[in-house]
């Protein structure tokens, strides 16, 4: 049985500690929803698991099927089955989408994929994501709309077929049709394989569509509460203030200050560490 285990994870960015002892386990074929106020470390957790060099692990463990993820380079993590669908995918000028996708597929195969087979898979995934095949010949994410970038992230997930997919606000900026398209892709992949998901979103709509098996709430750089889908409904209705009165979880004030100075559409952690 495959598993991703995070134990007492502490992560700093530019010497500012963001994660302060995260414990989380994701089992095979689970869909875990990760919620929490802005700037409390959700994106940091995903980036640290994937190995973004800006995020420095100072303490703790990440185990993937019992193997130490922290000893793996970023590409090794990907080859071991981790995938991160990013909130703000990089625009890489000059790198043709199709060339990149072929290299990514080949990175986990002993024998390079044949050109016919590659285009067959790409066409099927593009059709599923309602993406024009002409996007394959454009530069990677360059000039893509916000929605196109998110669809392209999911298209990559469909082609790479990871064991553990982490999706960071994959629904932000999507219109209703695109959201349905993305959630259908997630559900189909879940039903066709034993893939597990760790999904960050602020909106109940995506979670209604993909039906998480478990919910974790991150506050102050820790998983403060775990439970079922009822937590999503409660947060959607009442926000996070009730955590203080009903669960005794204080939402730290210095992060709130960082929140106030952060504009909509920007990552609160990235803004906070700039200060």
Give the footprint of other proteins on residues 145-164 (CB under 8 A): 156, 160
Taking CB under 8 A as the binding criterion, the range among 85-93, 123-131, 168-176, 192-200 that sits at the site for other proteins is 85-93
Total of chain residues touching other proteins, rule CB under 8 A = 30
Query: Which residue in the set 89, 147, 212, 221 belongs to the binding site for other proteins (CB under 8 A)?
Result: 89
Query: Which residue in the set 86, 136, 243, 269 belongs to the binding site for other proteins (CB under 8 A)?
Result: 86
- As a whole number of angstroms, the distance between CA 173 and CA 253 comes to 28
Check residue 96 for interaction with other proteins (CB under 8 A): yes
Query: Which residue in the set 26, 48, 50, 129 belongs to the binding site for other proteins (CB under 8 A)?
Result: 50
73 or 256: whose CB is closer to other proteins? 73
142 or 236: whose CB is closer to other proteins? 142
104 or 204: whose CB is closer to other proteins? 104
Check residue 197 for interaction with other proteins (CB under 8 A): no
Beta bridge partner(s), residue 166: 84, 198
- As a whole number of angstroms, the distance between CA 96 and CA 142 comes to 10
Taking CB under 8 A as the binding criterion, the range among 83-91, 120-128, 167-175, 257-265 that sits at the site for other proteins is 83-91
Check residue 137 for interaction with other proteins (CB under 8 A): no
Query: Which residue in the set 10, 42, 77, 190 belongs to the binding site for other proteins (CB under 8 A)?
Result: 77
- As a whole number of angstroms, the distance between CA 224 and CA 234 comes to 15
- Whose tokens are 């106020």? That residue is 37
- 155: tokens are 């298209």
Across the chain, which distance is largest between two alpha carbons, in Å?
Answer: 60
Query: Which residue in the set 79, 138, 161, 205 belongs to the binding site for other proteins (CB under 8 A)?
Result: 79
Give the footprint of other proteins on residues 206-265 (CB under 8 A): none
Give the footprint of other proteins on residues 53-72 (CB under 8 A): 53-54
The order of strands in the sheet holding 31-35 is 82-85, 164-168, 196-200, 31-35, 214-219, 222-227
Of the candidates 250, 251, 271, 249, the residue with the CA atom closest to the CA atom of residue 260: 271
Backbone torsions φ then ψ of 84, nearest 5 degrees = -120, 115
- As a whole number of angstroms, the distance between CA 81 and CA 92 comes to 23
Residue spans of beta strands (DSSP E) within the chain:
3-13, 16-27, 31-35, 55-64, 67-68, 82-85, 92-96, 139-140, 164-168, 196-200, 214-219, 222-227
The order of strands in the sheet holding 3-13 is 16-27, 3-13, 55-64, 67-68
Q: For the CB of residue 133, give the shortest distance to other proteins in the complex, in Å.
A: 20
Q: For the CB of residue 225, give the shortest distance to other proteins in the complex, in Å.
A: 29
Binding site for other proteins (CB under 8 A): 50-54, 73-75, 77-79, 83-84, 86, 89-90, 92-96, 99-100, 103-104, 107-108, 139, 156, 160
């Amino acid at each position: 049985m495959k598993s991703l285990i995070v134990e007492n994870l502490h992560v700093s960015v530019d010497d500012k500690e963001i994660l302060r002892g995260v414990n989380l386990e994701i089992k095979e074929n689970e869909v875990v929803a990760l919620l929490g106020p802005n700037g409390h470390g959700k994106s940091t957790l995903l980036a640290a698991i994937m190995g973004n060099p800006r995020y420095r692990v100072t303490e703790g463990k990440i185990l993937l099927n019992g193997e130490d993820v922290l000893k793996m380079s970023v590409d090794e993590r990907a080859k071991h089955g981790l995938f991160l669908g990013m909130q703000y995918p990089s625009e890489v000028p000059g790198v043709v989408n199709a060339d990149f996708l072929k290299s990514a597929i080949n990175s986990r195969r002993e024998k390079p994929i044949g050109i016919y087979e590659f285009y067959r898979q790409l066409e099927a995934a593009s059709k599923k994501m309602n993406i024009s095949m002409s996007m394959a010949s454009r530069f990677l994410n360059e000039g893509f709309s916000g929605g196109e970038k998110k669809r392209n992230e999911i298209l990559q997930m469909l082609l790479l077929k990871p064991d553990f997919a982490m999706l960071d606000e994959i629904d932000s900026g999507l219109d209703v049709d695109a959201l349905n398209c993305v959630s259908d892709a997630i559900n189909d992949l879940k039903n066709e394989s034993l893939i597990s998901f760790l999904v960050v979103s602020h909106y109940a709509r995506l979670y209604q569509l993909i039906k998480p098996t478990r919910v974790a709430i991150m506050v102050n750089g820790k998983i403060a509460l775990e439970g079922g889908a009822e937590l999503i409904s409660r947060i959607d209705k009442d926000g996070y203030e009730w955590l203080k009165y009903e669960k005794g979880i204080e939402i730290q004030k210095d992060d709130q200050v960082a929140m106030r100075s952060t504009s909509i559409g920007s990552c609160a952690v990235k803004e906070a560490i700039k200060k």
